Homo-oligomer: A and B are copies of this chain.
Amino acid sequence: MGKKQVPSLVKDERLISRRRAQIVKAAVGLFNEKGYHKATTREVANASGFSIGTLYEYIGSKEDILFLVCDSVYDEVVRKWEKLLDSNLRGLERLRQVIESYFRVVDDLQDEVLVMYQETKSLSGEALRYVLEKEIRIKDVFEKELINAREEGVLTMDDRQLSLAAHHILVVGQMWTFRRWAVQKEYSVDEYIDYQLRQLIYGFGVNEQAPDKQPVPQKEE
């Protein structure tokens, strides 16, 4: 996957990186506050600390700003994951930690994730495909972990349920941001992580001794 290129009139790569980091930071703040469409490029330029002309030395269009934001979030998520994924933890505990780690990154990058989450749809064509592909990559990480867990005998899930579960984990993470108006009023991150991990792993906690108990209908394989 060739990194979708955002055009720049400037040659110095180091400068480009620095300026774009400024832009992303400023943009995340603004996009969160007023939304991508209501935030103007002028405002982004100002908040970035330079003029509108300079802004356009480092991007080709407003959409590129949004793309840069999305792109940076994924990079950060992946970066924060690296150490953990390399560890030799195994079994349910490993799964638990991988998920928790992701949840914490989402919490740290809350504003960024929220922007990415709510405004991605405004990207068009190539940029959209690129961002969705990155999202799939993250999903793939979860899927791989779930497969590992299954191979270790911890879980019983067929392939397709497992793939869906991977999506599910991703969404439960994002939910911490896009429903923060409700959820973050009632729960701390720690509580949220605790409860949602239990929910993911054990479900509603069905009481098997209940009157209408019924065997867990796992794919009868």
Contacts and interface: CB of A to CB of B under 8 A. Distances in A.
A161 B37 contact: no
B163 A186 contact: yes
Interface residues of A, number: 60
A205 B201 CA distance: 7
> Number of copies of this chain in the oligomer?
4
Contacts of A200: 199, 203-204
Interface in A68-120: 90-93, 95, 118
A203 B218 CA distance: 10
Nearest to A91: B212
Interface string A196-214: 1011111111110011101
A192 interface: yes
Nearest to A153: B210
A201 B217 CA distance: 10
Nearest to A203: B203
Given A121-B35, A204-B155, A167 B179 contact: yes
B171 A206 contact: no
B203 A217 contact: no
A205 B218 contact: yes
B192 A157 contact: no
A157 B204 contact: yes
Contacts of A95: 204
Contacts of A132: 181-182
Nearest to A179: B167
A84 B97 CA distance: 40
B122 A91 contact: no
19 contacts: A37-B122, A90-B212, A92-B206, A153-B207, A153-B211, A154-B207, A155-B205, A155-B206, A156-B207, A157-B204, A163-B186, A164-B186, A164-B192, A164-B195, A164-B196, A201-B206, A202-B206, A202-B218, A205-B219
